Structure 1
Amino acid sequence: MRILFFGRGVISTQYAWAFEQAGHTVEFYVRKGRKETFGSRIELEMWDARKGKKLIQENWNVKLHEEMLPNYDLIFVSVNTEQLPKAVQFLSTAAGNTPILIFNNIWQDLKSSIAPLSMNNVVFGFPGAGGGIADNRLRGGFLKMVFLEKPRAGTEHINNKVKELFESAHFKISWIKDMQSWLWNHFAMNAAMETEVLKRGSFPAILNHSDSFVNVGKHMREMNPVLKARGAKSDMILLLLTKIPPALLGTLFNMVIYAKGSLPRLFVEYNNSKAGFAVSELVREAKKLGIPLPRLTVALENTEQHKAI
């Protein structure tokens, strides 16, 4: 399969490497000027957890394009959430009929989030990966599990193509029945994490404070009325973060999910992205609904996002 990755971000790069290892042709579309900036190689230091836990260390040759070329079997899109509107606008004229996998966090309703693309040409999914890129060096990793929406009427052929792609690279698929609610809940979870990041200064910093994940549970409870007002259905993410007492939740996160040496902890340690967008989107929505979010609002004060609301 010939796959075009939209952007050379941390998620795109890791899955592109895995797909190339499985025998697929992978290429990247990047903005004007980025081809020279990025160069033809990227240093990889990432954990591959598909079969055990293996550290990959290599300088990987990549093929970058600053034009959208034809004849791809799939376009893979995984960008920062705030970048998605511009990406889909560009793809609506440049992608033609090529099927698209949106592998992204999303707060809008799914149809609006990809307009003017057709829902019949798009499948939604979510990675089991993380990390960051700095000075052309990627540090991160990926798990065996990825998340894909169950086929909608009209998307069965794309779902099958995406399924075969991931399975050919030995990933395991978790099929999500209600992708809309799942993404809303996951976006809120990101906002809860980002609220702590805004307070502590960086993603790695939250790991050094034992009460960070206690607060994540409290932030999530504060946002629950917004999710309910939106019509989001409860899933394991929402139930975990809103039903378990915050103190117990903090212990669970610190001692199990983000235990020292675990891959999720490493993903956070390597995450050098800028926090705040998810928080601002939740606060903006809450204002429209007349729902107070004092914890998030305080954390957002004196940020660029707060000034824009």
Structure 2
Amino acid sequence: MRILFFGRGVISTQYAWAFEQAGHTVEFYVRKGRKETYGSHIELEMWDARKGKQLIKESWNVKLHEELSSNYDLIIVSVNTEQLPEAVQLLSTAAGNTPILLFNNIWQDLKSSIAPLCMNHVVFGFPGAGGGIADNRLRGGFLKMIFLEKPRAGTEYINNQVKKLFESAHFKISWIRDMQSWLWNHFAMNAAIETEVLKRGSFPALMNHRDSFAKVGKHMREMTPVLKARGAKRDMILLLLTKIPPVLLGTLFNKVIFAKGSLPRLFIEYNNSKAGFAISEVVREAKKLGIPLPHLTMAFDNSQQHKAIENLNL
């Protein structure tokens, strides 16, 4: 397949590398001026967990374009959530009928999140990867599992093509029956984690505090009425974070899910992105619904005050 990745971010770069290794042609669309800034290669230091746990270290040549065309078999979009509206608008005018995999976190309802794109041209999925990029060096990794929505009426062909693509690169697919609820729950979990990140100062600092994930569970409990008001169905994420006592939850995350040396822990330790957007979106929705979120609101307001002070000192 000939695949275009929208943006050359952490997720796009790692899966593009994997697909090229499987014999596919991969290229990237980047904003004007970024082609020169990024250059023709990127340094990779990432863990590949498809067959055991292998560390990939290489300088990988990439092909970048600053113009968007429809001459591809598939376009894969994985951008920061706040960039999604701009990306969708551009794709609506330049992608034609090219199928699109939206490999992204989403807080809106799915149909409005991709307007004015046609729902029958879009499949929703979610990666099992993470990390960060600094000074043209990617540090991160990806798991064998990726998440993909079960086919909707009209998307069966695209779903099948996406399935074949990932399987050709030795990924395993976890099929999601209710992608809308799954993404809402996952977005809320990100907001809960971001709340602690804002308190601690960074994603890596989150891992240095034993009680961080116990508090993540408390934040999820606080957001449960918002998810319920939206009509989100409970899944394993929500049940795990809201039903297990905070102390036990903290132990589970620190000793098992994010144990030292585990890839999920490394994904967070390598993450150098800024936190705050997920919280702002959830807090905004809660205000519309008249639902109080005291801990999230306080964390977000404090972060905004810190930003204002930093701007004054510049």
TM-score class, shorter-chain normalisation, is over 0.9
C-alpha distance in 2, partners of 1:106/1:291?
21
2:164 partner SS: helix
For each residue in 1:113-172, what CA deviation from the matched residue of structure 2 results, as whole angstroms up to 9, or x when unmatched?
A: 000000000000000000000000000000000000000000001000000000000000
CA contact (8 A) 1:42 1:59 kept: yes
Alignment of 1:37-52 (within 5 A): 37-52=37-52
For each residue in 1:228-256, what CA deviation from the matched residue of structure 2 results, as whole angstroms up to 9, or x when unmatched?
A: 00000000000000000111000000000
C-alpha distance in 1, partners of 2:127/2:69?
25
Is residue 139 of structure 2 the alignment partner of residue 143 of structure 1? no
Which residue of structure 1 lines up, in the alignment, with residue 29 of structure 2?
Answer: 29
Could you list the runs of 5+ residues in structure 1 that have no partner in the other structure? none
Is residue 264 of structure 2 the alignment partner of residue 264 of structure 1? yes
C-alpha distance in 1, partners of 2:37/2:306?
32
CA contact (8 A) 2:148 2:176 kept: yes
Per-residue deviation, 1:71: 1.7
C-alpha distance in 2, partners of 1:69/1:252?
46
Alignment of 1:231-250 (within 5 A): 231-250=231-250
The 1:288/1:305 distance shift into structure 2, 3 A limit, reads farther
Which residue of structure 2 lines up, in the alignment, with residue 86 of structure 1?
Answer: 86
Could you list the runs of 5+ residues in structure 2 that have no partner in the other structure? 309-314
Is residue 1 of structure 2 the alignment partner of residue 5 of structure 1? no
CA contact (8 A) 1:74 1:101 kept: yes
C-alpha distance in 2, partners of 1:246/1:100?
39
1:153 partner SS: coil
1:85 partner SS: helix
For each residue in 1:256-289, what CA deviation from the matched residue of structure 2 results, as whole angstroms up to 9, or x when unmatched?
A: 0010000000000000010000001111011111
Alignment of 1:186-265 (within 5 A): 186-265=186-265
CA RMSD, 1 decimal: 1.3
Per-residue deviation, 1:199: 0.4
1:303 partner SS: helix
Per-residue deviation, 1:66: 0.3
Alignment of 1:116-155 (within 5 A): 116-155=116-155
Is residue 155 of structure 2 the alignment partner of residue 159 of structure 1? no
For each residue in 1:161-219, what CA deviation from the matched residue of structure 2 results, as whole angstroms up to 9, or x when unmatched?
A: 00000000000000000000000000000000000000000000010011100100000
Is residue 185 of structure 2 the alignment partner of residue 182 of structure 1? no
Per-residue deviation, 1:306: 11
Which residue of structure 1 lines up, in the alignment, with residue 312 of structure 2?
Answer: none
CA contact (8 A) 2:70 2:97 kept: no
Per-residue deviation, 1:69: 2.9
C-alpha distance in 2, partners of 1:221/1:154?
37
CA contact (8 A) 1:280 1:305 kept: no
2:105 partner SS: coil
Which residue of structure 2 lines up, in the alignment, with residue 73 of structure 1?
Answer: 73
C-alpha distance in 2, partners of 1:257/1:207?
12
Structure-1-length-normalised TM-score: 0.98
C-alpha distance in 2, partners of 1:167/1:294?
44
2:102 partner SS: strand
Which residue of structure 2 lines up, in the alignment, with residue 97 of structure 1?
Answer: 97
How many residues in Structure 1 have an aligned counterpart in Structure 2?
308
Per-residue deviation, 1:307: 9.6
C-alpha distance in 1, partners of 2:67/2:282?
35
The 1:305/1:18 distance shift into structure 2, 3 A limit, reads farther
The 1:265/1:88 distance shift into structure 2, 3 A limit, reads same
C-alpha distance in 2, partners of 1:120/1:272?
35
Identity of aligned residues (%): 87
Is residue 250 of structure 2 the alignment partner of residue 288 of structure 1? no
CA contact (8 A) 2:45 2:140 kept: yes
C-alpha distance in 1, partners of 2:58/2:255?
31
Counterpart of 1:278, as a letter, is: A
C-alpha distance in 2, partners of 1:70/1:121?
13
C-alpha distance in 2, partners of 1:304/1:127?
30
